[in-house]
Structure 1
Amino acid sequence: MAFYQLVKSQKINCTIDELWHFISSPANLKEITPDYMGFDIITQDLPEKMYEGMIITYIVTPLFGIKTTWVTEITHIKENSYFVDEQRVGPYALWHHQHIIEPIENGVLMKDIVSYQPPFGFLGAVANTLLIKQKLKEIFDYRTKAVENQFGRYE
């Protein structure tokens, strides 16, 4: 079974409090996700801030217009430092996403470490090579631009 990681870093022109306020609000997830993903949060009564144990349910359309239910759990949080979301139901055999932030001179460094395993064994490995890896890169590139639009370009 193949296992992969995507690691992305971005310097952001804001304070750690401002960035934490933005990324810890589940309502902002849609703002940093490409429109073509058809991303809709279907969890009712979404709180303003995430918390450990929180379950969030979405409908996403990651490939070929096929709508998929994705359920994640926020498993770890250290305020102004990191949080982890893990897939409970969805398109991957494994999805573990660490969101790490730390203050740097004139801003914040945000690092994402996504550890994932596509479904279907060998076929999933082929799909990762041909499609999934590039699609994840696209999604995180979009997010980089969306965060820059929110806070300005780091200089």
Structure 2
Amino acid sequence: MKIYTLRAKQSLPISKQQAWDFLSEPRNLKVITPDYMGFNIVSGADRPMFAGQIIQYIVTPLMGIKTTWVTEITHVDEGRYFVDEQRFGPYALWHHKHFIREIEGGVEMEDIVDYKLPFGSIGRLAHPFLVKPKLKEIFDYRKAKLTELFGEI
């Protein structure tokens, strides 16, 4: 069994509270997701984030194929971190940790995603050519969009 890890860090010139308010609002995920992915929240984003929250999305990650993605917010430490885990969707495992730390002049946001692909050896073969570059593209877009919205340090 192969579990992959994606790490992304970004520093922004905003307060910890501003970062938390933006990142912990499920509707803002659409803002930082590329438009071509057709991201749409179906249910579960009608209240502030809490542990146990189930959020259902429709997303089109590859080749125009619409996919239902259901995540659960499993851990929340207000202002510091939260974790979302896929309950149903395209991955065999998706465990995404979001950390916010105060630094001089703003905050550092860190994402750590542990994920496993479906389809055994076929999934592993597709990883370096399809999945890894797509995830990098999505997180690069997110970084650019957050910089556009908040600036950079």
TM over 0.5: yes
What's 2:149 paired with?
150
Q: Pick closer, same or farther for the CA change 1:79–1:31 going to 2, 3 Å.
A: same
Q: Distance in 2 between matches of 1:129 and 1:149?
A: 29
Note the 1:55-70 alignment, pairs <5 A. 55-70=54-69
Q: Distance in 1 between matches of 2:112 and 2:100?
A: 11
Deviation at residue 2 of structure 1 after TM alignment: 1.5
Identity %: 57
Aligned residue identity for 2:106: G
What's 2:139 paired with?
140
What's 1:84 paired with?
83
Q: Pick closer, same or farther for the CA change 1:44–1:103 going to 2, 3 Å.
A: closer
Partners of 2:95 and 2:115 within 8 A in 1: yes
Q: Distance in 2 between matches of 1:44 and 1:22?
A: 17
Deviation at residue 143 of structure 1 after TM alignment: 0.3
What's 2:52 paired with?
53
What's 1:94 paired with?
93
SS in structure 1 opposite 2:61?
Answer: coil
Deviation at residue 91 of structure 1 after TM alignment: 0.1
Q: Distance in 2 between matches of 1:28 and 1:16?
A: 16
Runs of 4+, deviation exceeding 4 Å: none
Deviation at residue 44 of structure 1 after TM alignment: 5.6
Q: Distance in 1 between matches of 2:67 and 2:46?
A: 20
Q: Distance in 1 between matches of 2:44 and 2:86?
A: 18
State the TM-score, normalizing by the size of structure 2: 0.98
Aligned residue identity for 2:123: G
Aligned residue identity for 2:129: L
RMSD: 0.9
What's 1:126 paired with?
125
Deviation at residue 45 of structure 1 after TM alignment: 6.2
Q: Aligned residue pairs: how many?
A: 153
More strand by share: 2
State the TM-score, normalizing by the size of structure 1: 0.96
Partners of 1:72 and 1:89 within 8 A in 2: yes
What's 2:33 paired with?
33
Partners of 1:2 and 1:122 within 8 A in 2: no
Q: Distance in 2 between matches of 1:80 and 1:2?
A: 32
Deviation at residue 150 of structure 1 after TM alignment: 1.4
Q: Distance in 2 between matches of 1:34 and 1:133?
A: 16
SS in structure 1 opposite 2:101?
Answer: strand
SS in structure 2 opposite 1:111?
Answer: strand
Aligned residue identity for 2:95: H
Is 1:13 aligned with 2:13? yes
